[in-house]
Chains A and B, each alone.
Chain A
Amino acid sequence: MKAPRVFQLTALALVLVSAVQVGWWLFDQHRLAVDKLQEMQQIYAQQVVAAQALLEAGTPAARVQALLPDIVVNNQRAALSADVDGRLRAEERRRVAQYAWEGSFFIIALAACIAVIAGALRAEARVIEEQESFLALVSHQFKTPLASLQLSLETMSLRPLSPEQSRTLIDRMLSDLARMEGMVTQILESIRLDRGRIDLRNEPIDLAAAVARVITGSEERAAKERITVSADIERGLGVMADPLALDVILRNLLENALSAVAPLGGGTVAFTGRRADGEARLSIRDSGVGFRPGDAARLFQKFSRLHPGGGGSRFGTGLGLYIVRRLMQLTGGRIGAHSEGVGQGAEFVLAWPASEPRQSVAGAPGDAAVPARREHS
């Protein structure tokens, strides 16, 4: 067992022992107080008996009262003064109330400590479990492109190949390497996001320009897979966000949409940007494999890959949409996903508080004059 865990468990045990000890002290004090009060009551009862004896022996009542000031005499009958009786009962009530309040306070305080430590222990166990499953999943994700890479290389070394066959294998290997590089980037991004080690700027960005830039970056893939990507963004629609974060968000969503459409042999991906209810909303709708409506929330979980019948990318790490959601949260926006069902396409909607863009687009070198509407296929 690791040292911090031993320390935490020891602390938990100590707090538990302390709680029991405090409980015992309170019980003991209460018992002591009750015993004391009973003793006092016995002493007063003896005084009453003594006063009665003196009265019966002929001692004048005034003399008896002078000797025993807490005793009152009425018609030759000795009794404890109502004042003293009330004082004794009040004292008993005060002590009981004191122990009840103090006891409850200490017990609650200790219980809170126990809950905090137990919570910390559970959280740590969860983190360890997550790390282990993260490692298992990461290694699993890498094995397929690695296997493909190894197979291509061994094919090249084992068989005589034509220049065309060699070219195909080289392209495949380069693509596998790009996949692995993409995975490493995504894994590192997700770790940085998880640990909060990300420093985001907040500046006005023109959404049309940002969208146009990511579309341009995927032109080649879209054309190869016969996917028409279009953008219709309201002129001047801007958001306050980090330009690099926004680029990652849009790139991931576009890749996701392309991967959902590709298995169907072609289709469309449409970006639509509108200002509504004081928000800038960007919708990315694809005609791809879609997902079951009940799976919408699962899409954004780490390592969730729903596959067709789910819309997951064949080459995906299951981290893309998780990163998108985290970045949206960090940039003050939100994201939702919707599909009518498997085979019905899907729509992802991003929403930020609206802002006016500046003339030049931050973080988008050379893209300041991108038209608001453009199409690529």
Chain B
Amino acid sequence: MIYEPSVSAVLIFLAFVVAAVGLSFYLGRRTKSSEAYFAAHGQIPWFVNGIAFAGDYLSAASFLGICGMIAAYGYDGFLYSIGYLAGWVVALFVIAEPMKRLGRFTFADALDAKFDSRGIKAAAGISTLAVSVFYLIPQMVGAGVLIQPLLGLPHWVGVLMVGVVVIIIVVTAGMVSTTWVQFLKGSLLVVFSTVLVVIVLGRGLNTDAEPHSTIGPIDSALLLGDSIDERLVVEATGEWSAHSEFVRLRSEPGQGFDLYVVIPTEDANQVILRRGQTLTKITGGATLVDGLPLGNEAGQRQLRGVGSVTKLPGGVASTGPLGPIEYLSTLRQSEVLLWSKQAINEADGSTTTVFYPKPTDGSQIMRPGEHPTFAGIRSGDPLDRINFLSLMLALFCGTASLPHILIRYYTVKDAAAARKSTIVGIASIGFFYVLTLYLGLGAMTSGALDVTDSNMAAPLLARSISSLLFAIISAIAFTTVLGTVSGLILASSGAVAHDLVGGFLGIELTGTAQVRLAKVAAVVVGLIAIVLGILFKEMNVSYLVGWAFSVAASANLPALVMLLFWKRTTSQGIIASVIVGMVSSLGWILLSADTYSKVFGWDPATAIAPFSQPGIVTIPLAFATLIVVSLLTSVRRDT
């Protein structure tokens, strides 16, 4: 860990939590009816609702995941920004006004507006629950991942804290408090990200971030000798001997070593050595950095923060302040160090991870295709290309099908307000996504990145500027989780109380009883989320968000779109489409190579699904199911 838990981060975070919970109790005194609990009486001003859209939507995956991906690989993370925003176009132009006109509390209301079918309520309620729970897992895992380095507490404490705070927010005042917490979080996130980007641009690009990190150019024959630069070469034994690109140099016995990676130059006989770092997990629990115990004392070593520019255009050492366009064009002509890792099994059974820099041309980091997920678009494999198309399709269709986003249309008074709040949402979310590119690239060149955890890129960028900003950004990142999780839990509790119990089981409840039931459901879903967040600790955050988008797009969007645009749609068609879309996308994900390797630990080559992203198959499948079933059942309709 290259950062210490910060007292100011704890205090600022606590201030946020106290403010959010206090607000909830204040607003909760008047929230008794179901109109208030599920839809805030439809009284939220459109501007506030628009910013709350941003607070609802910009989850930990957006803020931490995308910035981290850009910091580690360049442009590729920005593809997510583009896809996530494009989805809002579907929401505004196609979905927003009908959703508001047709529904009352939940997504199922809108689907069922024409039919009054218990089957639709059940199918839509279950799909709401499935999507929300899938979306909840990465948020909860993200909360734990954040709290470990920031507050110095174990993973499960972070998950538990978020769970408890969110349950309090949702149970006290439902949609009213959830909206205001999301409004608070959305504004803070956009404002402070802007502050960070302004500072990044003012700092410009500098080449001196990591001094004394290279040796040479030296004669490549020296690599075969037993000393380089007056230091002894550690003998490469075991698996190390298969990695002639790594050289370990030792100044004194017992003082660890410095790892260097061999980088060829234009002259075949000359090489440059560039310093990397190693992390060894010894069986039994101890951790070594470059051969010494992890720590800050004498005789111990700490991982270094990384990320630097090695060459700037014109050979200057510093550019001075840059404009937003200049920043990107200068970086495109520079050379940057990107960090890769290589696992090496030691003879004693422990595993060493070598983190080593790779000088990368700026033009390469400013184009798509560096991240493993997207490398396929340059490999020429048709399946990789289909996988890419499938991901971009799921991002485009997923946004307008997320239940926790859709319920926000019921908190404003009419269709015009729904439209206006979506426009405010698009403007603030779009602006934030433009900032993500600068935040990511700023972190990439900040010298503050943690090689072991790319999710921390944005907070660490703030840390390279000032510790107060680090505390604020960390606390905002944590609040980000609060805002999104409250929206999800509220959507789930609505699905249980309103769609499943009230609609499907047909149990008539008074407003107060329905709210009581929804609160119980919120507590139960919250507890399930806490448990899943702890169980799925090891899962990659952005990977799980991708699942939720695919399932939402496959299960919900076809039914919603066809209901609006095809007059012959029947209730059976909608039910079949939701179920087929949900089951096929979930099944595909479970049978994909990514899940085989990352979840089950099986050989990915044996996976049944030909590529990882289901959208391009399951979204058309759900449309086709709806059309076929509707045509088959329309004759029996007694209208």
A binds B: no
**Interfacial residues, chain B to chain A (CB-CB below 8 A):** none
Residues of A at under 8 Å CB distance from B? none
